[in-house]
Chains A and B, each alone.
Chain A
Amino acid sequence: MGKLTFIFLIAFIPAAFAGGWEGTAAMALAISGGFLGITYAVGMGLGINELQIMSKEELYQLIATGLLVALLVGGNNVIDGLSGGMGSGGQNLQDTAISVIDDTLTNPTSGMLGIYNSVTTIDNKVAKESSKTMSCSIVSIGYTVSACGGYSMLSTPLSMSGSIVGFAIGELYSMKRLINISKNYAMSLLLPIGIVLRTFKFTRGAGGFLIAVAISMHILIPAGILFNQMLVDTFIAEAGSGYSGGLSTTVEDCDPSSGIGVYGGDQGAQDTLALFRTDLQQVVFSVLVRGTLGPVLALLIMTAGIRALTSLGGAEVDVSALGRFV
């Protein structure tokens, strides 16, 4: 009777929550509790002990899930409070992480999109200058000089820079996408479906997996982004602003006819290279640490979280395959 009362109480869990994803999760717990209650009642009515024992066993699993959700509600509120105070404009963990990603992408001085634009503009100009060749021919006698050919040495590093910055942009957009998906669905759909699936023995693995994915996407990805941002802020505060900025490299025009005989185009290429090398220090930190390491860290934390949580949920899923996408 005591356990039946407990099941009955579970059905009223929604009243304990204000709304939002917490209400949906509570509803899922109530649905699961209802299923178990019916199973227990059928077992009791027909005198099938095994059914009653199974219901009791499953009830313990449901209580464990309920505790996990309660822990999540409390933990999420604490994390939201902490992340909201980071001053990035977000009201909760997810919004704060999105603000950080947006800033990393579009910051006027050190944003990835600005750096990518600078790299491609420099690359475009360098290619134009390096392509200039001077030709002179009369009655099939003449010459062709590639006096600006010195610029072509810059094309390879600029292409490589473009691919590295492009990769960072892609990673940042992918993290933003995962956070946006989790904002809309992780806690309001994946978590409750996971709770319901976890109630049934044969779908416990899938249920545990969905719960783990929901929690990891909702909390661990944004937490990873913010964790990296905190490290970046600490480093910038210690090392100074020399590690945060954009590209100011300019490319001089090259006249292929003026330098014939003295290789006049070389000086402009050397000046461009010198400027580019000076800019690299502040750009490399932005691109590799803020733009690349942050998302990689967040994804690794998420996959590690899924593995740990599925193990906690009763069905260990090896998600190393997801980690390989990094």
Chain B
Amino acid sequence: MVDTCAISGFDGIMENTIMPLSAMATIASALICGFTYMISQVITNPKLSLWAKTEAVQLIFSAGSVFLLIMLMNTFCTMKVSEVASLFGKSSDSISVYDAAAKYLADAGYYSIRALTVVRFHLEAYSVLGALSVFECEFAGGIGCLFGYSGTNIQALGGYGAHQAALGIFFNSTIMSVISALNFLFILQYVYRGFVVMFLPLGIFMRSMPYMRTFGALLISVSISFLTVYPFLLSVFYIMEDAILDKPAYEPGSFGDYYDETIYSEGGAGESLEAAVAGTDAVYENYFPNGDNAAGAMMFAVYAFIAAVFLPTAALLGTIGTIAYLTRMYGEEIDLSRILQMV
């Protein structure tokens, strides 16, 4: 059975968990309102009566959110990003908004891993090349070293401390890019599969409870925003992948020389033998047949950072901004500055 938007298990969660829980929360809240109304009639308390009526109206508004959410989700499932793109003279793949959001983050992760590989390749090469040392025998034209030794020990290819210090920063940032892309992807998967299970029914229930309307409004707003705005913003980035992720090559230029991670994978014996037989320059050429490209590696790393950290964070901030706006729409003002600091 194909689920909504081809998200496996989605229909099951929606039909078997969210809808019944929301219905139960609505009925429980309605019962409380009804019971309160009856009490108010018995003790002739107009304030209590007014409260019950107000809460009943709010309950209808909250329950309406579930239908609004389902309607929006169905729209996003049927709407293709290619259609959105073509509205504005752009082109993209014919996949749903939800798929496009997940694919953007997966692609950003892939792009970051490629950047990480290039940076790591350079760092490894500089470490190996910097550690290569040669003993130049000067004792009786070299023959003397059969009996003793006299000569100069030298770091044949020089040092690469400046390269390593510079690339170390970008290595860290690229690792962060990979982790960030995966983190945002897992957030998205969690939103698709489990987020609303708890937040939406709880929000409906809480919104009808005394003193808990702000909290309930927040939960409903979080559900709606994360299930609609957040994937939509990411799907917009998917349309922009050729500029953000250099689609279809997924690399900003030519980095084919720097993906081979098998050089000297068995240890240093090969390197030593090669240096002794073919000279130290051969070791350098083994890593960099066409020269190194540290600046290019840095460029790749910052592009990955923009794609996997900066833009998804911007999408998250936009989503949080929508949450604040929605809670205001539900009649409550909340301060999300603390949550923002966690971002």
A203 at the interface (CB under 8 A from B): yes
Most A C-beta atoms less than 10 A away, residue of B147, B173, B242, B317 = B317
A276 at the interface (CB under 8 A from B): no
- Minimum C-beta distance from A301 to chain B (A): 16
Contacts of B314 in A (CB 8 A): 213, 319, 322
B153 at the interface (CB under 8 A from A): yes
1/0 contact trace for B138-161 toward A, CB 8 Å? Answer: 110000000111111111111111
Chain A residues bordering chain B, tally (CB within 8 A) = 75
Contact check, B305 vs A166: say whether CB atoms are below 8 A apart. Answer: no
A259 at the interface (CB under 8 A from B): no
Give residues 297-326 of A contacting B (CB, 8 Å): 310, 314-322, 325
A56 at the interface (CB under 8 A from B): no
Given known A-B contacts A116-B166, A163-B166, A325-B310, A192 and B88 have beta carbons under 8 A apart = yes
> Within the assembled complex, what's the spacing in Å between the Cα atoms of A203 and B319?
10
Which of B243, B303, B343 contacts A184 (CB under 8 A)? B243
Contact check, B244 vs A181: say whether CB atoms are below 8 A apart. Answer: yes
A3 at the interface (CB under 8 A from B): no
Given known A-B contacts A128-B159, A162-B161, A315-B324, A190 and B236 have beta carbons under 8 A apart = yes
For B309, the closest partner residue in chain A by CB is A325
Of A7-15, A65-73, A169-177, A286-294, the one with at least 4 CB within 8 A of chain B: A169-177
B299 at the interface (CB under 8 A from A): yes
Contacts of B229 in A (CB 8 A): 203, 205-206
B302 at the interface (CB under 8 A from A): yes
Contact check, B162 vs A321: say whether CB atoms are below 8 A apart. Answer: no
For B244, the closest partner residue in chain A by CB is A181
Contact check, A135 vs B322: say whether CB atoms are below 8 A apart. Answer: no
> Within the assembled complex, what's the spacing in Å between the Cα atoms of A133 and B159?
15
Given known A-B contacts A173-B302, A188-B89, A315-B321, A123 and B148 have beta carbons under 8 A apart = no
Give residues 215-252 of B contacting A (CB, 8 Å): 224, 228-229, 232-233, 236, 239-240, 242-244
Given known A-B contacts A124-B160, A166-B167, A209-B321, A202 and B340 have beta carbons under 8 A apart = no
A36 at the interface (CB under 8 A from B): no
Query: Which interface class (under 10, 10 to 19, 20 to 34, 35 or more) fits B?
Result: 35 or more
Contact check, B318 vs A206: say whether CB atoms are below 8 A apart. Answer: yes
Contact check, B166 vs A166: say whether CB atoms are below 8 A apart. Answer: yes
Contacts of A219 in B (CB 8 A): none
Which of B89, B167, B224 contacts A202 (CB under 8 A)? B224
For A136, the closest partner residue in chain B by CB is B150
Given known A-B contacts A162-B166, A319-B317, A189 and B326 have beta carbons under 8 A apart = no
Given known A-B contacts A131-B133, A174-B306, A205 and B324 have beta carbons under 8 A apart = yes
A127 at the interface (CB under 8 A from B): yes
1/0 contact trace for A145-183 toward B, CB 8 Å? Answer: 000000000010011111101110111011001101100
> Within the assembled complex, what's the spacing in Å between the Cα atoms of A113 and B295?
7
Contacts of B37 in A (CB 8 A): none
Contact check, B154 vs A321: say whether CB atoms are below 8 A apart. Answer: no
Contacts of A125 in B (CB 8 A): 158
Contacts of B173 in A (CB 8 A): 170
> Within the assembled complex, what's the spacing in Å between the Cα atoms of A290 and B224?
44
Given known A-B contacts A155-B159, A173-B299, A316 and B324 have beta carbons under 8 A apart = yes
- Minimum C-beta distance from B181 to chain A (A): 15
Contact check, B155 vs A161: say whether CB atoms are below 8 A apart. Answer: no
Contacts of A319 in B (CB 8 A): 314, 317
For A113, the closest partner residue in chain B by CB is B295
> Within the assembled complex, what's the spacing in Å between the Cα atoms of A130 and B159?
9
For B342, the closest partner residue in chain A by CB is A321
Given known A-B contacts A135-B153, A210-B318, A165 and B166 have beta carbons under 8 A apart = yes
Give residues 167-192 of B contacting A (CB, 8 Å): 167-170, 173
For B150, the closest partner residue in chain A by CB is A136
Given known A-B contacts A126-B159, A159-B164, A159-B165, A135 and B151 have beta carbons under 8 A apart = yes
A193 at the interface (CB under 8 A from B): yes
> Within the assembled complex, what's the spacing in Å between the Cα atoms of A203 and B228?
9
Contact check, B161 vs A127: say whether CB atoms are below 8 A apart. Answer: yes
> Within the assembled complex, what's the spacing in Å between the Cα atoms of A205 and B68?
17
Contact check, B329 vs A193: say whether CB atoms are below 8 A apart. Answer: no
> Within the assembled complex, what's the spacing in Å between the Cα atoms of A128 and B341?
47
- Minimum C-beta distance from A163 to chain B (A): 4
> Within the assembled complex, what's the spacing in Å between the Cα atoms of A158 and B166?
11
Give residues 103-118 of A contacting B (CB, 8 Å): 113, 116
Given known A-B contacts A127-B130, A159-B161, A169 and B321 have beta carbons under 8 A apart = no
Between A and B, 29 residue pairs with Cβ closer than 8 Å are A113-B295, A116-B294, A123-B163, A126-B159, A127-B159, A133-B152, A134-B151, A137-B148, A137-B149, A142-B150, A165-B166, A166-B169, A169-B299, A170-B299, A170-B301, A181-B240, A181-B306, A192-B87, A205-B318, A205-B324, A206-B233, A208-B321, A210-B236, A257-B138, A317-B318, A318-B336, A318-B340, A320-B340, A322-B310
On A, residues with C-beta under 8 Å from B are 24, 27-28, 31, 113, 116, 119-120, 123-128, 130-139, 142, 144, 155, 158-163, 165-167, 169-171, 173-174, 177-178, 180-181, 184-185, 188-190, 192-193, 201-206, 208-210, 213, 256-257, 310, 314-322, 325
On B, residues with C-beta under 8 Å from A are 68, 84-85, 87-90, 130, 133, 135, 138-139, 147-170, 173, 224, 228-229, 232-233, 236, 239-240, 242-244, 294-295, 298-299, 301-303, 305-306, 309-310, 313-314, 317-326, 329, 336-337, 340-341, 343
Besides A144-B153, A155-B161, A210-B233, 6 more A-B contacts (Cβ < 8 Å) are A113-B295, A136-B150, A160-B165, A163-B166, A170-B170, A174-B303
